[in-house]
Structure 1
Amino acid sequence: MTSKSITTTLFYSLILLVSCKEDGAKPSEKAMSDNVLTQEWTGPYRGVPAFDKLSVEAIKPAMETAMAEQLEEIEAIAKNEADPTFENTIVAMERAGKTLDRVSSYYGVMGSNVSSPEFRTVQAELAPKLSEFRSKISQNEALFQRIKTVYEASLKSPLEPEAQRVVELTYKQFEMNGANLNAAKKKRYAAINKELASLYTDFSNHVLHDEEHYITYLNDQQLGGLSEGFIKSAAKIATDKGKEGLYAITNTRSSMDPFLTYSTERALRKQVWENYYSRGDNGDENDNNAIIAKILKLRKERVGLMGYDNYAEWRLQDRMAKTPENAMDLMMAVWPAATARVKEEVADMQAVADERGDDITIAPWDYRFYAEKVRQKKYDLDSDEVKQYLQLDKLTEAMFFVAGELFNYNFTPITDGSVPVFHEDVKVWEVTDKTTEKSIGLWYLDPYARQGKRSGAWATTYRSAASFDGEMNVLASNNSNFVKPAPGEAVLVSWDDATTFFHEFGHALHFFSADVKYPTLNGGVRDYTEFQSQLLERWLSTDKVINNYLVHYKTGEPIPQALVEKIKKAATFNQGFGTTEYLASALIDMKLHLADPTTIDIDKFERQTLDELGMPKELPMRHRTPHFGHVFSGEGYATAYYGYMWADVLTSDASEAFREAEGGFYDKEVAEKLVKYLFAPRNAMDPAEAYRKFRGRDAKIEALMRDRGFPVLESAL
C-alpha cells in the first residue's frame, strides 16, 4: 500500500495529513521562525526533515500556521485580476503549499510510525479543521472559475502534454468534489466532509487501540511448534511490556501469521485468530460498526448532491475500470476458480488432519497450520526451512541489486548521523545513478513493529519529484512491521513477507524514477498504482536473487538448488486461500458502496453477502469490515480495493513480456521500456496508453489465471 504527498491527496483523502487555522487567523513570521516544524529543511541532500525535533506540542501550531499560509496563497490566485492563464492559475497552485507539504511529512510520521495517546487527541482536534481547509479550496468559486477558464481554453488550444494533463486532472478534481454545486449544496457538501474527517480518525484510532491492547501471553508450556527465533522475539516483547518470563503474541499480522502457521496449541490459535479478526468489532467503545454505517450514509448523500446514484459510480469514473460493473466483472471472473481451489485445499488439509489422528474439522484458525502440513507433504517444502534463507538484511541487498540492474541505481548507507530519523530503528541510504553519480534522493527504512506504529506495510514520500521550479530530489520511505529480533539474532521472514518487502520497495522505485514536471502528476490512478509494486515482487524469485542473496543465516551457505526447485513447484500452492481472502474484502468493499445504507447493519450485511457469494467457512476475509482501514480510515481505497486484482492482471501480463525476452527478467531492452513507460511517467500519461506503449496491446486476464494455476479465461481488460 502507498500513500502520497499532501498535494495529491488534497481531494482523495488517502490519509488525514493536514489541518487549518481558525477563520481570520494569519501566519506570522515569528510563528514560522519559532516552530522548527514549519521551517525549510536544511542540511545535506538539498535539505532533510528534522525528524529528531518531532513533538506533539509543536505539530498542531505548525499545521495551523502552514494551512493558513496556503489559504492565503490560494486566495491570492483566486483574486488575481489578470486574465486566467496556465501560469498564473495552474502553475501558481502547483507552487502553493510548500510549508504545508513539509509539515504534513511530520504529521504523517507521527500518525503512522510514532503515534501516542497525546497525538491522537491532537488528531481528533485537527480532523474537522482539515475538512474545512479542503472545502475552502475546493469550494472557492473564484478559483474554480479561473481553473475552468484555463481548462476550456486548453480544449480549443491544447498545451504541451504534461501541462495539458495537469490542467485536466486539476479541473476533474474540483468537478468531482462539488465545485459545480450551488451554494446550499456546497454548504452541505462541506459539512459532510467535516463529519467524515472525524469519523475516519475515530475509526483508525479504534483499530490501533485493539491492536495495542489485545495481546496473548504464553508460558513455557505453550510454545509447541514455534521456532527458536520467534520464541526469543516473543520473550523480548513480553519483557518490554513488563511481563518477563512470558511470551507475547501481539495483535498484528506479522505476529499472528507465524503463530497460526506453526503453533500446536489449537485453543491458543483460536484465541489469537479471534483477537486479530475482531479488531474494531468487540462491542465496546472502540467498536467501529456504527461508525462504518455513518460513513456509508454520508458518502452516499455527498455524491447524491452531484447526481450520482452511489459512491462507487462517482469514485470509479477516473479509474482504469471506469465503472463498478467493470470492476465487479473482473472479480467475479476469478471468484469461482478461487473458491473452487479453496475446497481442494481444505480437502487436502482435512485428509492430513485425519492421517495425524487429529479429531477436528478444519476451522479458520486451522487453515494456516494444516496448509503448512500439506505443503510439506505435497512438495516436501517446509516454510520454516525456507525462512532460514530469508534474512531481512540480505533481502535489502537483493532489492538494491534489482534496482541497480533495472534502474541503474546505487544505494549507499548514511551512517554519519547527518540525516535525522524519528526512531533509532530507522536507517537511511542515499540513492544515486550508477553512471552519472547524480543524487536521486534518500531512502528511509523503518522495518519493525512497535507500540504506536500502525500495522501493515506501506510506502510514502517526504519529498516527491518535480522540475517546474528546479529539479527536486526524492525522499522516500518504506515501512514494515517485522517482529524485532532479540539482540544478536537475524531477522528471518516468510516468503510472503519477503514478497511484501519487494512490493513496497516497488512503490519507492516508482517514486524515485518519476520524471514529471508538476507535483500533481506524482499522483496515481488507484487501480494502476499498485501495478508497478506488484510487478517488482516477481524479481524475488529470479535466479540472480535466489542464487546470490538467499543464504543461510548461520552458515552463510547458499540455498540448496533442491529447495529452490521445491519453492518453484509450490508456486501456485495455497492460491485458493490467498485469492479468496483478498477478493472477499474487495467484493464487500464494492457491495457496501452499491447498497442502500439507510438502515444497514454492518455485521449482518457482511455475513449475508459472504453467504450469497459462497464464501468458504474455513477462512475469513483478509480485512473484515470493522478494521478495513484501506476503506474506512480515509477514501483512497474506498470502492478501490479491487484495484490490486486489476493491477495484478497488468502484472501477470507484463511479467510474460520479460519471460518472452532474450534476457528474461533482466533483459535491458524490456527494462528500458519498463522504466520509460510504466515507472517514469507516474500520472503524466493515461495509464492505459502507457501500458499499450510498453506491451503493444492491452493486458489480458489469462496471464493472471496461469500465474495462479486457475483455469484460463480468454478476455482483456
Structure 2
Amino acid sequence: MNILTQKFTTKHDTAPFSKIKNDDFLPAFQEGITSAKAEIDAIVNNTEAPTFENTIEAMSFSGEMLDRASSIFFNLHSAETNDEIQKIAQEVSPLLSEFGNDVRLNAELFEKVKAVYDKKDSLDLTTEQQTLLDKTYKSFSRNGANLPEGKKTKLREIDKELSKLSLEFGENVLAETHAFHLHITDEKDLSGLPEGVIEAAQEIAKSMEKEGWVFTLDYPSYIPFMTYADNRELRKKMALAFGAKGFQNNEHDNQEIVLQIVKLRYGRAQLLGYKSHADFVLEERMAENPEKVKSFSNDLLEKAKPAAQKEFEQLTAFAKEIDGIDELQKWDSAYYSEKLKQKLFNLDDEKLKPYFQLEKVLNGAFTIAGKLYGITFEEVQDIDKYHKDVTTYEVKDENGNLVAVFYADFFPRKGKRNGAWMTSYKPQYIKDGVNERPHVSIVCNFTKPTETKPSLLTFNEVTTLFHEFGHALHGMLANTTYPNLSGTSVYWDFVELPSQVMENWCYEPEALELFAHHYKTDEMIPMEYIKKIKESASFQEGMATLRQLSFGMLDMGWHSLDPSSITDVKTFETEQFANTQLYPDVAENAMSTAFSHIFQGGYSSGYYSYKWAEVLDADTFELFQEKGIFDTATATAFKENILSKGGTEHPMTLYKRFRGQEPKPEALLKRAGLL
C-alpha cells in the first residue's frame, strides 16, 4: 500500500513524512496522474450541458492526490534532496509536463470551458467565480488550446524539454555550490573574522574530517567570509568560485542550457502568437507588458544612479584611505561597505547579533502577527517532520480554531538549496461546507547553533526571516473557495507585497522591543542601536537599487528580445549590465549561469517584481506609520482586502480597496533616501 495515494490519517491531515519512502514517489505520481485524468474524463464525458459547476468548479477541485504528492516531493527536492530524489525528479518532470499539456490541449475539455466562458455575462457568478472562469479559460488559450494540431505537438515538445532543462540547471548549480570549499589551516588567514563565524567554520571542517577551518559557498558561510575576512586574496578566491557556478566549461556547465532555455521560451511565445516570452508572461501581471516594466525600471534607475555613483565614489575613496586600494573589485564590496558602515554608524552585525537569537526573533514575528491579525502560534511535537531540525506549530485564531499548520526549517545542510523561501504542503480551500486549512512552510539557511552559542542572526537574516514569514501569513490567512486562487496564488508582481511589507517592522522600536533581547542577559537592545539600524537602513540604498535593477534588466534582456542571434552568454550579459555597472567586470564569472530565480524558479520576466512590490510595500507601510504600526483597523483592512483574498480579484482592485488609491513610488524613494 502506497501511503501517498491514501487519505492521510494524521493530525490535521498533515504529511506523514517519516512513513514516506523514496520508492513511493514514482508510483504515487503515476497513480495520481491516472486518477486526475479520470476526473478530467468525467468532466469531458458528462452528457449534461456544460455549467460553471460541472466544468470550471469540477476542474478546480480535480487532481488533489497528484497535487499533494507533487507538493511533498518537490518541497523535499528543494529542502532535503539526495541522489535518489534527483533521479526521480528527472523521471517525473516530463510526466507532469506531459499531463499538464494533456489537460490544456484537450480539445473537448476546452470546448466545454469555452461554452461556459462565452456565456459568462448571463451567469450569476461571484467575483471569485468570475476570476476562476477567466483564469481557467486563459490557462487553455495561453497554452495553445486554439492552435492547430501540428503546433500543439510542437508545444508539447518544447514544454517537455523546458522542464528537463530547468531541473538540470538547478542540479548543476547545487553541484557547483558543493564542489568548492576553502580549507584554511593557517590561523592568520582568519584575521577579521568574528568568533562565531570561525567556530562555525571549525564545525564544517570537523564534519568533513579535516583539521582547521572550512568555508563553503553556502550563504551563512560565504557572506560572513566576504564581509569580514581581511585576507583580500582569499576573498578573491571565494568570490571567483561563487561567481563561476555553472560557468566553468565542465560537466556542470550551464551556458548551453541558458541559451537553450531562452530560445525555447521565445519559440513557445511565438508559437502562441506573442512577440516574446516577456510579452506572454506579463499579460498576466500587474505590469501588463515589457514596455511598462522597462519604463518603470528606467525611471527608478534615473533616480538611483546618481546616488549609487556617489556612494561608490565614497566607498572607493574610503578603501584607498584605509588600505591604499587603487581599484575596488567585487570581492571588496561587502568588506569595505561593512567597514564604512561601522565608521559612519558605529554599528556592526557582530554587535547586533547577540540581540537576535533565532528563537526570540521567531517568537517576535509570532507576537507581531498576533497583535496585527489576532493569531497565536504554539509549537507541537505530534506533527511529523522531514528532518529533525524542522519545528512544527499550530496556528489558531482568537476562538481557538485552527488557522494553519506551520513548519519552520532554518539551518543549512547537504541536500538543501541555498537561499530562503516559503512554500505550502496543502492549500486552503472551502469544499462541501468545510474550510480546509493550509499547511505552510518557511525554509531558510541561518547559522546553526554551536556548542557554546545559540543561532544568532545578522540583521539581514532577521529581515529575511520576517520576509518569508510575510509570505507565510499570506498563505496561512487565506480564505477563498478555490485552491488555485488561494494564498500566494496571485499575480507574481503582487506576491512580494505581504513579504516585503513585513520587513518594515524590523526597523520599528515598538516591534524590536518585543524580541531584540540579549541571548545571555535578556537585556533589551539599546535604543542607540535601534536608532542606528533605522539611520543605516538607507545606507548604500542607491547601490542596492542599482544591483536589483540590473538583475531585473538582465532578466528582461533574456526574455523580451529575440534571442536567436545570441551565441555567448557572457557577452550578452555584459551588454545588459552596461547601464548599471559600477565594479570592473570579472572575466571568469557570469551571473546567468547560476541565476536560479529565472532559469529554475518561476521568476522569468518577473525579477522586476521585487522592486515593483517595494513600491506597494512602502506605500502600504506609510499608512501603518500614519495610524500606528499596530493599528488594528489598518491591520484588519490589510488582512481582509489583501492577505485573505489570494488571487480572487485583480490585485490593483484589491490594493485600491485597501489603500483608497493607487500606490505612489514617492513612498519608496523617500524611504530609500533617494528623493
| TM-score when normalising by structure 2 | 0.97
String of CA shifts for 1:608-647, please: whole Å, max 9, x gaps: 2212x1411258999921111111115x211011111111
Among 164, 167, 175, which residue is 2:130 paired with?
A: 164
2:405 corresponding residue in structure 1: 442
Instruction: From 63, 85, 108, give the equivalent of 1:97.
Output: 63
Q: Equivalences for 1:214-253 in 2 at 5 Å?
A: 214-219=180-185, 220-243=187-210, 245-253=211-219
> Quick one: distance in 1 between partners of 2:668 and 2:323?
38
Partner Cα distance (2:228, 2:521) in 1:
24
Following the alignment from structure 1 to structure 2, what is the Cα–Cα distance between the partners of residues 567 and 471?
42
Residue of structure 1 equivalent to 2:608: 642
Instruction: Quote the residue 1:462 is aligned against.
Output: 425
Quick one: distance in 2 between partners of 1:543 and 1:623?
41
Paired with 1:358 and 1:256, the residues of 2 have a C-alpha distance of 25
Offset at residue 543 of structure 1 (A): 1.8
Where do 1:473-552 residues align within 5 Å?
A: 473-522=437-486, 523-552=489-518
Q: Which residue of 371, 375, 379 corresponds with 1:405?
A: 371
Alignment of 1:230-379 (within 5 A): 230-243=197-210, 245-379=211-345
- Given candidates 182, 207, 218, the residue that maps to 2:148 is 182
| Contact 1:538–1:655 (8 Å) recurs in 2 | yes
Deviations 1:552-578 (A, max 9, x none): 222221111112111111120021232
Deviations 1:297-338 (Å, cap 9, x if unpaired)?
Answer: 111111111211111111101110001111111111111333
- How far 1:510 moved relative to its partner? 0.4
Which residue is equivalent to 1:703?
667
Partners of 1:256 and 1:699 lie apart in 2 by 37
- Counterparts of 1:669-684 in structure 2, within 5 Å, are 669-684=633-648
Once the two structures are TM-superposed, the CA of residue 657 in structure 1 deviates from its matched residue by 0.9
Q: Return 5+ residue gaps in structure 1 as ranges.
A: 1-33, 712-717
Give the SS at the match of 2:274.
coil
Matches of 2:585 and 2:219 in 1, distance apart?
15
Q: Distance in 1 between matches of 2:230 and 2:470?
A: 36
Kindly indicate whether the alpha-carbon contact (under 8 Å) linking 2:509 and 2:530 is maintained by their aligned counterparts in 1: no
Partner amino acid, structure 2, of 1:286: H
- Identify the range of structure 1 (553-562 vs 181-190) with the bigger mean alpha-carbon deviation: 553-562
Structure 2 counterpart SS, 1:430: strand
Cα distance change, pair 105–609 in 1 and its aligned pair in 2 (3 A): closer
Displacement, 1:294?
0.6
- Contact 1:339–1:615 (Cα < 8 Å) also in 2: no
- C-alpha deviations, 1:160-188, integer Å up to 9, x for none? 22111111111111111111111111111
Letter in 2 for 1:498: V
Provide closer, same or farther for how the CA distance between residues 588 and 620 of structure 1 changes in structure 2, counting only shifts above 3 A: farther
Runs of 4+ in 1 over 4 A off after TM superposition: 618-623
Distance of 1:246 and 1:342 partners within structure 2? 39
User: 122, 126, 148: which one pairs with 2:92?
Assistant: 126
In structure 2, the CA distance between the partners of 1:488 and 1:710, relative to structure 1 (3 Å rule), is same
Give the AA of the match of 1:705: L
Instruction: Please say if residues 51 and 422 of structure 1, whose CA atoms lie closer than 8 Å, have aligned partners that are also in contact.
Output: yes
Q: What SS does the corresponding residue of 2:429 show, helix, strand or coil?
A: coil
Residue 591 of structure 2: aligned partner:
624
Residue in structure 1 matched with residue 21 of structure 2 by the alignment: 55
Is the alpha carbon distance of 1:620 and 1:673 closer, same or farther for their aligned partners in structure 2, counting shifts above 3 Å?
Answer: farther
Does structure 2 retain, via aligned residues, the 8 Å contact 1:346–1:362? no
- Equivalent residue runs for 1:196-211 within 5 Å: 196-211=162-177
Contact 1:455 / 1:481 at 8 angstroms: preserved in 2? yes
* Higher deviation after alignment, 618-627 or 100-109: 618-627
Which has the higher mean CA deviation after the structures are superposed, 476-485 or 422-431? 476-485
Matched, 1:427 2:394: no
**Secondary structure of 2:9 counterpart:** coil
Give the distance between the partners of 1:481 and 1:614, measured in 2 at CA. Answer: 29
The one-letter amino acid paired with 1:44 is K
Report the AA paired with residue 476 of structure 1: V
Amino acid at match of 2:406: W
Q: How does 1:549-628 map to 2 (within 5 A)?
A: 549-600=515-566, 601-611=568-578, 613-617=579-583, 624-628=591-595
> Partners in 2 of 1:252 and 1:341 — Cα distance?
31
One-letter identity of the residue aligned with 2:430:
S
CA distance in structure 2 between the aligned counterparts of 1:321 and 1:490, rounded to whole angstroms: 43
Secondary structure at the aligned position of 1:698 is classed as: coil
Contact 2:356 2:517 in 1 (8 A): yes
Distance (Å, rounded) in 2 between the aligned partners of 1:444 and 1:623: 35
Shift of 1:502: 0.2
Structure 2 stretches of 5 or more lacking a match? none
Distance 1:614 1:546, change over 3 A: closer
SS at 1:482 equivalent:
coil
Query: What do residues 226-249 of structure 1 show as CA deviations (whole Å, max 9, x unaligned)?
Result: 111111111111211222x22221
Corresponding letter in the other structure for 2:624: F
Q: SS of 1:471's equivalent?
A: strand
Tell me the TM-score normalised to structure 1 length: 0.91
Q: Which amino acid aligns with 2:68?
A: R
Displacement after TM superposition at 1:286 (Å)? 0.7
Q: What is the alpha-carbon distance in structure 2 between the residues aligned to residue 112 and residue 73 of structure 1?
A: 29
For 1:108 and 1:564, locate their aligned partners in 2 and report how far apart those are by CA, in whole Å.
Answer: 40
Measured in 1, the distance between the counterparts of 2:236 and 2:260 equals: 31
Alignment check: 8 A CA contact 2:570 2:590 kept: no
* Distance in 1 separating the partners of 2:91 and 2:52: 36
Matched, 1:140 2:142: no
CA distance in 1, matches of 2:645, 2:36: 27
- 1:674 Cα shift? 0.7
Identify the range of structure 1 (548-557 vs 309-318) with the bigger mean alpha-carbon deviation: 548-557
